[in-house]
């Protein structure tokens, strides 16, 4: 007889306490293998797929797409030992409306669930993303967007029924706004944007294929709502004229003035806010900066990238060269590759350099980490930066790739600015900021010339070193930028 086991949302690491369900990868009644990804969740750090440590038939799912669950909350239940849906799993007599609700991934019904016992051979025991037992990966079932799901009446969903047909991933039932009826929308981000601005998706006509609602449709509705607020504001001066409807989610204050918009500090934005606030609260930081002539560095880069043929490696970026200069500088000034243990009142100097670099994405600012950067050359560092940047843009960075940094390189020059006083990435001890490289008048060999000039700034934790060490580090970096041969002498 199959044993029903409950799989809970695991601890995804680095103190994360909750995650938002982005997309279910399995349906009730699906047969899953050990360590098969069953749900895609978004944490404050990354978008990750969560594998299930049990193999069997999915009997229930907990939580709708877009819902936030705390670590330790039930995700789904699995009938271990079952290889296909059977009458013993779920209730075959459930109403059709309840079946539809269960297929949508709505609230799962109460039912028997048990924790996996220690030493059980029914599961892998590995619930963290990226871990596995070597079991063959099961093929993920594809959800066909062209198939639609029926809307459920106003009733509480009953127990999930395995084997009942499959709902479309592109349909979100109107219960999320308290009004029955299907809405054609795929992206959880589009639904979240609509919820934040209290836009009724049922009033929108999608411009995508088969009436699919796109983000552009929601943005247009938000602009129309804002225009309605302005119309009401003008109409307030004429009491006899009928007032324009108030935009959803924007209450009026006083004489037709719209209320300030409130945006929750959640997800990546909330994590960034917490970390930067902690940094400024705990770390007594100071900043020093210097202008450097990067003309020779740019010439060296051009020469490196000019090589052709089978022996030519990948193109080297300016960021990769600066990262390599940083690792050489940290070898000379290890005080800046450290952290402070406030409880023990000790400075902890770290043996290796795990170099973080700031990357701006649609989800916000993230800092991927190049592991063991001190053992890599410029080409290797550059290739890893390219790989991690692509993962960041697609939201596929794992928590492990966003944590554990010992020093951060921040290239804000890509935004067209010259200088900045960056906030240290807690619990690190320093961050090097790089401005844009642009032609400027410069005294070169006793004569005024136009040179490629960059401003470098170093923000450091004044507890780990004094200004002399910080200045020495920054001066060494600037010397390597101005005369790349200085770096060769240190290798």
Give φ, ψ of 279 to 5 degrees.
Answer: -60, -50
Residues 151 and 286 in one domain: no
pLDDT of residue 12: 72
Residues 218 and 99 in one domain: no
pLDDT of residue 171: 40
Residues 350 and 465 in one domain: yes
pLDDT of residue 177: 40
End residue of a domain, out of 229, 263, 297:
263
Q: Which of 354, 374, 426, 462 is catalytic?
A: 462
Q: Does a structural domain hold residue 173?
A: no
Contact between 206 and 180 under an 8 Å Cβ cutoff? The reply is: no
pLDDT of residue 191: 72
Mean pLDDT of 475-490: 87
Q: Which residue has the higher pLDDT, 159 or 409?
A: 409
Q: Does a structural domain hold residue 170?
A: no
Task: Measure the CA–CA gap between 188 and 166, rounded to whole angstroms.
Answer: 19
Residues 363 and 287 in one domain: yes
CATH number at residue 438: 3.30.559.10
Task: Measure the CA–CA gap between 60 and 105, rounded to whole angstroms.
Answer: 9
Q: What is the pLDDT of residues 172-190, one digit of tens each?
A: 433 344 434 455 665 666 7
Q: Give the DSSP letter of residue 337.
A: S
Q: Is a pLDDT exceeding 80 seen at residue 26?
A: yes
Can you point out the beta strands (E) in 178-262?
Answer: 182-184, 252-253, 257-258
End residue of a domain, out of 237, 263, 289:
263
In this prediction, residue 253 has a pLDDT band, given cuts at 50, 70 and 90, of: low
Q: What is the pLDDT of residues 428-463, one digit of tens each?
A: 999 999 999 999 999 999 999 999 999 999 999 999
Q: Does a structural domain hold residue 74?
A: yes
SS3 state of residue 361: strand
Residues 46 and 129 in one domain: yes
Q: Does a structural domain hold residue 362?
A: yes
Per-residue CA distances from 426 to 61, 185, 284, 335 (Å): 37, 39, 12, 16
Residues 6+ apart with CB under 8 A from 311: none
Q: Does a structural domain hold residue 179?
A: no
Lowest mean pLDDT segment, chosen from 11-25, 347-361, 410-424 = 11-25
Lowest mean pLDDT segment, chosen from 39-48, 364-373, 380-389, 479-488 = 39-48
Task: Measure the CA–CA gap between 363 and 267, rounded to whole angstroms.
Answer: 9
Task: Measure the CA–CA gap between 154 and 101, rounded to whole angstroms.
Answer: 11
> Within 33-123, where are the H helices?
96-103
pLDDT of residue 13: 64
Q: Does a structural domain hold residue 290?
A: yes
Q: How high is the mean pLDDT of the chain?
A: 76
Give φ, ψ of 34 to 5 degrees.
Answer: -60, 130
pLDDT of residue 432: 97
Judge whether 374 counts as a catalytic residue: no
Q: Is a pLDDT exceeding 60 seen at residue 411?
A: yes
Q: What is the pLDDT of residues 182-225, one digit of tens each?
A: 556 656 667 767 777 778 877 888 887 667 787 778 878 887 87
In this prediction, residue 314 has a pLDDT band, given cuts at 50, 70 and 90, of: confident
Residues 421 and 285 in one domain: yes
Residues 140 and 251 in one domain: no
pLDDT of residue 388: 95
Residues 277 and 236 in one domain: no
Residues 6+ apart with CB under 8 A from 344: none
pLDDT of residue 223: 77
Q: What is the pLDDT of residues 374-406, one digit of tens each?
A: 999 999 999 999 999 999 888 888 888 989 999
Q: What percent of the chain has pLDDT over 70?
A: 68
Give residue for tokens 């800092």: 367
Number of domains in the chain: 3
Range of 252's domain? 185-263
pLDDT of residue 357: 95
Mean pLDDT of 330-353: 96
Task: Give pTM, 2 decimals.
Answer: 0.56
CATH number at residue 142: 2.40.50.100
Residue-level length of the chain: 491
pLDDT of residue 294: 97
Residues 159 and 237 in one domain: no
Mean pLDDT of 52-77: 89
Highest mean pLDDT among 15-29, 54-68, 331-345: 331-345
> Within 61-203, where are the H helices?
96-103, 188-196
Q: Does a structural domain hold residue 418?
A: yes
Q: Which residue has the higher pLDDT, 94 or 46?
A: 46
> Within 119-214, where are the H helices?
188-196
Residues 424 and 278 in one domain: yes
Residues 202 and 325 in one domain: no
Q: Is a pLDDT exceeding 70 seen at residue 1?
A: no
Residues 233 and 304 in one domain: no
Q: Is a pLDDT exceeding 70 seen at residue 265?
A: yes
Q: Does a structural domain hold residue 391?
A: yes
End residue of a domain, out of 105, 131, 164:
164
Highest mean pLDDT among 93-97, 143-147, 400-404: 400-404
């Amino acid at each position: 007889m199959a044993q029903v086991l409950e799989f809970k949302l695991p601890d995804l690491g680095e103190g994360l306490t909750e995650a938002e369900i982005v997309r279910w990868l399995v349906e009730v009644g699906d047969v899953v293998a050990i360590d098969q990804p069953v749900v895609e969740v978004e944490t404050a750090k990354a978008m990750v797929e969560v594998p299930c440590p049990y193999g069997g038939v999915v009997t229930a799912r907990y939580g709708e797409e877009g819902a936030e669950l705390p670590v330790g909350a039930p995700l789904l239940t699995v009938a271990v030992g079952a290889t296909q849906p059977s009458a013993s799993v779920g209730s075959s007599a459930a109403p059709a409306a309840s079946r539809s609700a269960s297929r949508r991934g709505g609230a799962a019904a109460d039912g028997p669930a048990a924790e996996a016992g220690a030493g059980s051979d029914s599961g892998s025991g590995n619930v963290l993303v990226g871990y596995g037992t070597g079991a063959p990966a099961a093929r993920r079932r594809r959800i066909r967007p062209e198939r639609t799901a029926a809307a459920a009446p106003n009733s509480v969903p009953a127990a999930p029924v395995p084997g009942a047909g499959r709902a479309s991933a592109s349909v979100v039932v109107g219960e999320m706004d308290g009004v029955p009826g299907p809405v054609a929308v795929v992206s959880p981000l589009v639904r979240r944007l609509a919820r934040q601005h209290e836009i009724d998706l049922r009033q929108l006509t999608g411009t995508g294929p088969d009436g699919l609602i796109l983000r552009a449709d929601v943005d247009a509705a938000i602009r129309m709502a804002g225009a309605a607020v302005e119309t009401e504001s003008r109409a307030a001066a004429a009491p006899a004229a009928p007032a324009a409807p108030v935009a959803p989610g924007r209450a009026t204050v006083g004489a037709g003035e719209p209320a300030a918009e409130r945006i929750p500090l959640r997800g990546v934005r909330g994590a960034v806010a917490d970390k930067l606030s902690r940094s400024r609260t705990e770390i007594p930081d100071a900043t020093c900066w210097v202008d450097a002539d990067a003309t020779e560095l740019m010439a060296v880069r051009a020469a490196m990238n000019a090589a052709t043929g089978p022996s030519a490696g990948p193109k080297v970026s300016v960021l990769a060269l600066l990262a390599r200069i940083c690792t050489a500088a940290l070898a000379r000034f290890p005080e800046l590759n450290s952290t402070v243990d406030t409880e023990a009142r000790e400075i902890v100097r770290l043996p290796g350099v795990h170099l973080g670099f700031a990357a701006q994405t649609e989800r916000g600012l993230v800092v991927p980490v190049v592991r063991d950067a001190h053992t890599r050359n410029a080409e290797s560092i550059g290739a890893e930066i390219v790989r991690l940047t692509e993962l960041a843009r697609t939201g596929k960075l794992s928590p492990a790739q966003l944590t554990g940094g010992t020093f951060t390189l921040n290239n804000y020059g890509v935004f067209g600015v010259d200088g900045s006083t960056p906030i240290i990435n807690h619990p690190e001890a320093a961050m090097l900021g790089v401005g844009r490289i642009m032609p400027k008048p410069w005294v070169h060999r006793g004569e005024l010339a136009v040179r490629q000039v960059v401003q470098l700034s170093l923000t450091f934790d004044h507890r780990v070193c004094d200004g002399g060490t910080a200045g020495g580090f920054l001066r060494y970096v600037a010397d390597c930028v101005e005369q790349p041969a200085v770096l060769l002498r240190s290798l």
